[in-house]
């Protein structure tokens, strides 16, 4: 029931992830961070089988840092998404696949372009202007279809994201304890202090 939403704007990507962790019928955490920073300008958000999720995310994070130190430059976001897809694809064909769904938000400082990649546990990788994982998709994709504009500002993107969260609070049958929002833009990755 975890929520992952990503929205690209003209010069940034917004990534929202739900803050709750639930085991069975109990909520056991209300300030969970379902993201990992891969490079200065790349953020990975994950949902799925707990255990698999952090393990896989940190494995990808470590490999991307290793590439950076070995080669003296960071991987592009396309390369990061492709690498992650490949890891999921080979896990999928192993005895125990990772059950992890992923969004990767990135900003290319040279090309001045924000990108968002949607990757699911079946290792499908798509670059999209906006995306969501899990049940949240059913509620927010229609809103995003209607209101998203690739040239929108970061502020407009945040307003759209707030509308999405409002709809989720109204329609979702469970309390997801709000979302944490991180922004990736020219300045890097930062967490927004506001309460969503």
Q: From CA 58, how far away is CA 36, in angstroms rounded?
A: 7
Return the number of the residue (113 or 191) whose C-beta is nearest another protein.
113
Return the number of the residue (86 or 153) whose C-beta is nearest another protein.
86
As measured in angstroms, the least distance from the Cβ of 41 to another protein is: 16
As measured in angstroms, the least distance from the Cβ of 102 to another protein is: 16
As measured in angstroms, the least distance from the Cβ of 76 to another protein is: 7
Binding site for another protein (CB under 8 A): 71, 73, 75-76, 78-79, 81-83, 86
Q: From CA 182, how far away is CA 188, in angstroms rounded?
A: 10
Q: From CA 37, how far away is CA 44, in angstroms rounded?
A: 6
Q: From CA 117, how far away is CA 132, in angstroms rounded?
A: 10
As measured in angstroms, the least distance from the Cβ of 137 to another protein is: 25
Return the number of the residue (69 or 73) whose C-beta is nearest another protein.
73
Q: From CA 175, how far away is CA 171, in angstroms rounded?
A: 10
Query: With contact defined as beta carbons under 8 Å apart, do 17 and 180 qualify?
Result: yes
Of 41, 28, 38, 36, nearest in space to 53 by CA:
36
Return the number of the residue (64 or 103) whose C-beta is nearest another protein.
64
């Amino acid at each position: 029931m975890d929520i992952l939403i990503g929205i690209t704007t003209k010069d940034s990507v917004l990534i929202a992830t739900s803050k709750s962790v639930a085991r069975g019928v109990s909520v056991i955490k209300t300030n969970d961070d379902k993201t990992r920073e891969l490079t200065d300008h790349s953020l990975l958000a994950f949902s799925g089988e707990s255990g698999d999720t952090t393990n896989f995310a940190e494995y990808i994070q470590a490999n991307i840092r290793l590439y950076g130190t070995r080669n003296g430059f960071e991987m592009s976001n396309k390369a990061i998404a492709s690498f992650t897809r490949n890891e999921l694809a080979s896990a999928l064909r192993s005895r125990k696949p990772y059950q992890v769904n992923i969004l990767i938000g990135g900003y290319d400082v040279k090309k001045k372009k924000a990108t968002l990649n949607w990757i699911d546990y079946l290792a499908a990788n798509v670059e999209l202007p906006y995306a969501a994982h899990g049940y949240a998709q059913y509620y927010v994709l229609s809103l995003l279809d209607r209101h998203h504009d690739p040239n929108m500002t970061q502020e407009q993107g945040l307003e759209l994201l707030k509308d999405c969260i409002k709809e989720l609070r109204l329609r979702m049958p469970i309390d997801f304890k709000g979302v944490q929002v991180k922004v990736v833009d020219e300045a890097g990755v930062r967490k927004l202090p506001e309460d969503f």
